[in-house]
């Protein structure tokens, strides 16, 4: 950003959680007869470790409701194995991800309430492969903290089959993850001042943090690059925005949203006026359009520009959730806007060791950045 010749580049200090995975996790399923079978697992973000090897029988469930209905003696002292897959019938994969996500977020806490020693969770992916998917999970105050691990989808299918053949099967899990004291980090902010209404701000952002298994290329390196690309394109085209355009690289979206909360807090305390905020956090794939979170009249105002985007394949302007990092600005901004791209491949690699730079297609990335810059330019020129 400093090399782009922006009007201002600065950092916003923010304290963030510090969780470390430790040594590579190990898991093995072992039946009454035969040798153990290794399972591909990874700790869920925020999980406690196993304090050595943790061995127990397994009870498989498809939902929180099924777990709650089980007799206590069927759960106590066991691993609860949450094996509900993402629903493949939805065209929008984010909807399937959202519905299946309660297992990852709350599975360990709900299992512990029933006396389980740990939670094993099917990875949130429609792909069938050997990559376990991490992601944040939450404990509850007053509830025993038990380890939580994700199984690859292939591993989950295999464990389910093994359990059908042998209900007394055991799983041995070893994880050394731990939570350390909070540390100081930063949001990174760069802006171009508006020529007519510099006090009206349009924010565009992605998040800097990624899960530790890979580079976080699509989640969310692409969103960061596209947010900076909005500023670069405005400068390269010579189109000075009439309102101030600010790119924010948010810290700590994945396990706390501290960066998004801090940005909104500082904006409010400074009396800043946010006209709109846009977020890219769904990968850098082929653009489809935008989700708009605003009152009905504002949604219609933004939708008037839809025909300009249709020739470029990014003309789907629909009401809907805009994004996690810009969510805290809801009471301060007239509209929150989420960049939407083709979602079919995103959850194949999201939160896994496969989320690497070679998966990013430069042309798709550039088309997305240009779509974002175009809508932000229109808002900067015509307002809402």
Q: What amino acid positions are annotated as catalytic residues?
A: 253
Cα–Cα dist 82/115, whole Å: 15
Cβ atoms of residues 44 and 150 within 8 Å: yes
Cα–Cα dist 384/238, whole Å: 23
Which residues, 6+ apart, have CB-to-CB distance to 384 below 8 Å?
Answer: 275, 276, 294, 298, 301, 302, 334, 335
Report the sign of the C-alpha dihedral through residues 321, 325, 326, 330, in that order.
positive
Max CA pair span of the chain: 77
Which residues on adjacent β-strands are paired with residue 279?
A: 205, 338
Six token digits for residue 177: 């993850």
351: left (phi over 0), alpha (psi -120 to 50) or beta: left
Helix (H) or strand (E) holding 325: none
Cα–Cα dist 281/271, whole Å: 27
* b/e sequence 270-289, b meaning 16+ C-beta within 10 Å: eebebbbbbbbbbbbbbbbb
Which residues, 6+ apart, have CB-to-CB distance to 218 below 8 Å?
Answer: 283, 284, 285, 346, 349, 350, 355, 359, 360
Other CB atoms closer than 10 Å to residue 63's CB: what's the count?
14
């Amino acid at each position: 950003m400093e090399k782009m010749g922006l009007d201002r580049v600065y950092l916003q200090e923010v304290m963030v959680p510090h969780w470390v995975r430790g040594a590579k996790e190990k898991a093995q399923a072992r039946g009454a007869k035969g040798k153990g079978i290794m399972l591909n697992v990874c700790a869920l973000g925020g999980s406690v470790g196993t304090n050595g090897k943790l061995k127990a029988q397994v009870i498989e469930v498809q939902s929180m409701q099924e777990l709650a209905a089980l007799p206590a003696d069927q759960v106590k002292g066991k691993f609860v194995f949450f094996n509900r897959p993402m629903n493949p019938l939805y065209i929008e994969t984010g909807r399937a991800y959202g519905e299946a996500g309660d297992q990852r977020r709350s599975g360990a806490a709900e299992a512990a309430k029933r006396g389980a020693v740990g939670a094993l969770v099917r990875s949130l992916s429609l792909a069938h492969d050997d990559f376990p998917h991490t992601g944040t999970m939450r404990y509850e105050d007053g509830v025993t903290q038990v380890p939580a691990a994700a199984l690859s989808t292939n591993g989950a299918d295999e464990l389910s089959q093994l359990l059908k053949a042998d209900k007394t099967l055991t799983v041995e899990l070893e994880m050394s993850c731990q939570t350390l004291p909070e540390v100081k980090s930063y949001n990174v902010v760069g802006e171009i001042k508006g020529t007519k209404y510099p006090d009206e701000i349009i924010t565009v952002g992605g998040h800097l943090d990624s899960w530790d298994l890979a580079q976080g290329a699509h989640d969310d390196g692409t969103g960061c690059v596209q947010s900076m690309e909005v500023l670069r394109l405005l400068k390269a085209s010579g189109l000075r925005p009439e309102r101030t355009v600010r790119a924010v690289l948010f810290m700590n979206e994945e396990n706390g949203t501290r960066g998004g909360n801090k940005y909104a807090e500082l904006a409010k305390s400074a009396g800043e006026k946010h006209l709109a905020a846009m977020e890219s956090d769904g990968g850098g794939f082929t653009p489809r359009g935008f989700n708009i979170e605003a009152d009905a009249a504002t949604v219609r105002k933004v939708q008037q520009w839809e025909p300009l985007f249709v020739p470029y394949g990014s003309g789907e302007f629909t009401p809907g959730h805009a994004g996690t990092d810009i969510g805290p600005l809801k009471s301060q901004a007239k509209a929150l806007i989420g960049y939407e791209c083709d979602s079919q491949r995103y959850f194949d690699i999201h939160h896994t060791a496969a989320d690497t730079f070679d998966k990013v297609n430069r042309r798709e990335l550039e088309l997305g950045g240009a779509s974002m810059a175009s809508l932000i330019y229109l808002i900067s020129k015509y307002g809402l």
